[in-house]
Amino acid sequence: MNTNLMLDLHDLGKSFELHHQHDAHLHVLDGIRLQLHAGECVVLSGPSGAGKSTLLRVIYANYRPSRGSVRLRHDGRWLELASATPHEVLDARRRTLGYVSQFLRVIPRVPALDIVAEPLLQIGAEPAQARQRAGELLHRLNVPERLWQLPPGTFSGGEQQRVNIARGLIAPRPVLLLDEPTASLDAANRAVVAQLLAEARVAGSAVLGIFHDEDMRDRVATRLFPMQPLEPA
Ligand SMILES: Nc1ncnc2c1ncn2[C@@H]1O[C@H](COP(=O)(O)OP(=O)(O)O)[C@@H](O)[C@H]1O
Ligand SMILES: [Mg+2]
């Protein structure tokens, strides 16, 4: 086994059935081949509608692919996510595969600090240590300390996004999927996220992401993976 290879997509395709349109199909991904190695950051590029978010959701096993294979290196062996059981998917997400979207899923009444700390608790960290690490990340991401004990429901879009990034990066993950996690951030906080991603890569994570703005893309990408819409809008 090539110990550096973390994710191997082979002839991957995804079509959506459009039930309201006489069961027509929308072909979004076709023949995708992509290999992601530890320490690299591949950025999916291409116009809106090219299927970038769909590709990340297929890899995160939110969607089943229509064709092809999604092999993830998990626990030192290959896990085929296209046919994995729900239990295998949950285990892969807990320990190997991270996903950060644009939006924080707010849990009512749970303070920001605990939302950020939770992924560390799930892998068995001590609560005090997990909260301390959560505080360090929130501090680096310039989330004011007065907000840490409050549920993020009333936070600004940018504050929620920074809580979401802290939660997504707190537990070391061998493979990190990022869908425009910095869309509402100012330049200073984007720079912090770029630094956190660089640290994750040095620690051995493989990163696959979508970044709308060019300065972020240039800063984090080791390689681009260009995509185009298959069907006209
Ligand atoms: N669940 C779905 N059902 C039907 N069509 C979808 C679904 N998700 C995405 N699509 C379609 O797939 C295409 C690609 O979308 P998306 O992956 O979000 O593109 P991108 O992230 O590159 O902007 C779009 O035409 C979108 O409408
Ligand atoms: Mg998208």
Atom of ligand 1 nearest to the CA of 44: 22
Helices (H), the chain: 52-59, 86-95, 112-122, 127-140, 157-169, 187-202, 214-220
Q: What residues have their beta carbon closer than 5 A to ion ligand 2?
A: 53
101 Cβ closer than 6 Å to some ligand 1 atom: no
With the most atoms of ligand 1 within 8 angstroms of its CB, the residue from 15, 44, 53 to mutate is: 53
pLDDT on residue 2: 62
- Ligand 2 centre distance from Cα of residue 179 (Å): 7
CB of residue 26 inside a 6 A radius of ligand 1: yes
Residue ranges of domains in the chain, CATH in brackets: 1-16+25-96+214-227 (3.40.50.300)
pLDDT of residue 45: 96
CB of 21 closer than 6 angstroms to any ligand 1 atom: no
pTM over 0.85: yes
**Residues 189-218 pLDDT 10s:** 999 999 999 999 999 999 999 998 899 999
Please give the Cα distance from 192 to 45 (Å, whole number).
22
> What pLDDT sits at residue 52?
98
Q: What is the DSSP string of 14-47?
A: EEEEETTTTTEEEEEEEEEEEEEETT-EEEEE--
Neighbours of 96 (CB within 10 A): 17
Write down the pLDDT at residue 193: 97
pLDDT, position 1: 55
53 lines ligand 1 (CB under 6 A): yes
Q: How many angstroms is it from 233 CA to the middle of ligand 1?
A: 11
* Res 23: pLDDT: 74
Place of tokens 């330049």: 187
Which protein residue's CA is at the shortest distance from atom 5 of ligand 1? 16
Three-state SS at 80: strand
Q: Whose CA is closest to 209, among 157, 166, 165, 172? A: 165
What DSSP line would sit under 96-107, residue for residue? TEEEE-SS----
**The token pair that represents 100 in the structure block:** 């950060």
Q: 91 exposed, middle or buried (CB, 10 Å; 0-12, 13-18, 19+)? A: middle
224 lines ligand 1 (CB under 6 A): no
- Using a 6 Å cutoff on CB, does residue 164 contact ligand 1? no
Is residue 24 within 6 Å of ligand 1 at its C-beta?
no
Nearest ligand, measured from the Cα of 227: 1
* Number of other residues whose CB lies within 10 A of the CB of residue 142: 14
Ligand 1: nearest atom to the Cα of 210 = 21
Q: Consecutive sets of 10 residues in the chain, 233 residues long: mean pLDDT of each?
A: 87 91 88 97 96 98 97 96 96 95 88 96 96 98 97 94 96 96 94 97 97 92 96 70
Nearest to 216 by CA among 197, 185, 194: 194
pLDDT tens string 2-20: 679 999 999 999 999 888 7
